[in-house]
Amino acid sequence: MTRFHISFAAQSVLSLVLLAAPAVAPATDYQHLPAKVKAAFREVAATPAKSTVQVYCDHYRSALGVVVDKSGYIVTKASELDGAIECQVTGGKKQEAKIVGRDELLDLALLKIDAQDLPEIAWSDDTPPVGSWLVSPGTEGNPVAVGILSVGPRRIRHPPGALGVKLDSDEPGAKIEQVFRRSAAEKAGLRAGDLILKINGKEIPSFEVLSKTIQEYHAGDKVDLVYRRGSEEKAVTITLGVYAQTFSEGNDRAEFQNSLGGDLSERRAGFVSAIQHDSMLRPVDCGGPLVDLDGKAVGLNIARAGRVESFALPAAVVREAVKKLMETHLTAASTAVER
């Protein structure tokens, strides 16, 4: 079946669904859509699924990726990578992958595997209008999510970061008096009585220095913290929380409401441009393509940000970033060979 016929069939079926909207489950929940709609989406996802890659870290599923060059180059979500990386293309075996480039601003990583003639993703040249159906292909036939474009390209700013502690003003140094519930500090195992010594190698002798240091970072940033508990010195890596949620009286309720339907991505802000869709996307499914009903990638899923908020980097942004990363890597590789 051609892409035109797939698109036409999908549009026809989905039009019927929209007319009967009160009688069906929310469009974002793929598992509860009518059988005919599921079939239409499977048709749409079939071709881009061949260019979708499962990314593993230390043998666990970590993210999805997209084949951007047939010679083994794959782009994925950088902040989900931790440990030994392997990639598995559709129908293939796991292969060792190496990070050959990063774009910290976009949270992208360029991976390289030993492969040839991989099916490259087909990018769309246009951003679809608000209200368009979008599909997130997986590697096993069914889409991992479907949804509707709710907001066009815009900047997603970083919210201020927060550690989530109150210091003891009667004690010298940065001694913790209270750890806020569900805060970054609590999740990292910090306790009242712990004395904070360093953050990313910087000495923390007082509340003022701690406050100024944390202000240099954003929610979702990871910091290495050294502290003393009793006579023992310990170290931990902490992912900073959102300031407004950490210190709000209703922080438990706000976080609960925002995460209904699944976990949220740790890095879910600070993107120069992103489109927003309402797919119920899991963090481990970020890094994969987001396609229109023609099966062309309009973007790369980069974060699950809320109950009805998933973000994708627009295709043009991803393509430009990948081009620069590949040029940098190939230039460095060529220079190394010449030496």
Name the percent of the chain lying above pLDDT 70. Answer: 85
Average pLDDT value for residue range 57-73? 97
Total structural domains within the chain: 2
Residue 278 resides in a domain: yes
User: What confidence tier does 312 reach under pLDDT thresholds 50, 70, 90?
Assistant: very high
Residue 1 resides in a domain: no
**Residues 214 and 335 reside in one and the same domain:** no
| pLDDT tens string 88-142 | 998 899 999 999 999 999 999 999 999 999 999 999 999 999 999 999 999 987 8
Closest residue by Cα to residue 228 from 171, 293, 310, 288: 171
**Residues 241 and 223 reside in one and the same domain:** yes
What is d(CA 160, CA 302) in angstroms, rounded to the nearest whole number?
A: 20
- Domain hosting residue 288, numbered range: 25-33+45-155+270-339
Say if residue 289's pLDDT is above 60.
yes
CATH number at residue 176: 2.30.42.10
Residue 56 resides in a domain: yes
pLDDT at 225: 98
Question: Of 232, 247, 262, which marks where a domain is finished?
Answer: 247
Q: Give me 230's structure tokens.
A: 């009793």
Residue 276 resides in a domain: yes
| pLDDT tens string 216-231 | 998 888 999 999 999 9
**Residues 97 and 243 reside in one and the same domain:** no
**Residues 129 and 90 reside in one and the same domain:** yes
pLDDT at 220: 83
**Residues 142 and 287 reside in one and the same domain:** yes
> H/E/C letters for each residue in 260-326?
CCCCCCCCCCCEEEEEEECCCCCHHHCCCEEECCCCCEEEEEEEEEECCEEEEEEHHHHHHHHHHHH
242 sits in which H/E element: strand 241-242
**Residues 75 and 212 reside in one and the same domain:** no
Q: Give me 12's structure tokens.
A: 């026809």
Q: Give me 314's structure tokens.
A: 């627009």
Residue pair 273/151 in contact (Cβ under 8 Å)? The answer is no
Residue 98 resides in a domain: yes
**Residues 233 and 333 reside in one and the same domain:** no
Say if residue 179's pLDDT is above 90.
yes
Residue 19 resides in a domain: no
Residue 57 resides in a domain: yes
| pLDDT tens string 243-264 | 888 887 555 555 555 555 578 8
**Residues 145 and 52 reside in one and the same domain:** yes
State if pTM tops 0.85: no
**Residues 150 and 165 reside in one and the same domain:** no
User: What confidence tier does 2 reach under pLDDT thresholds 50, 70, 90?
Assistant: very low
Higher pLDDT, 6 or 195: 195
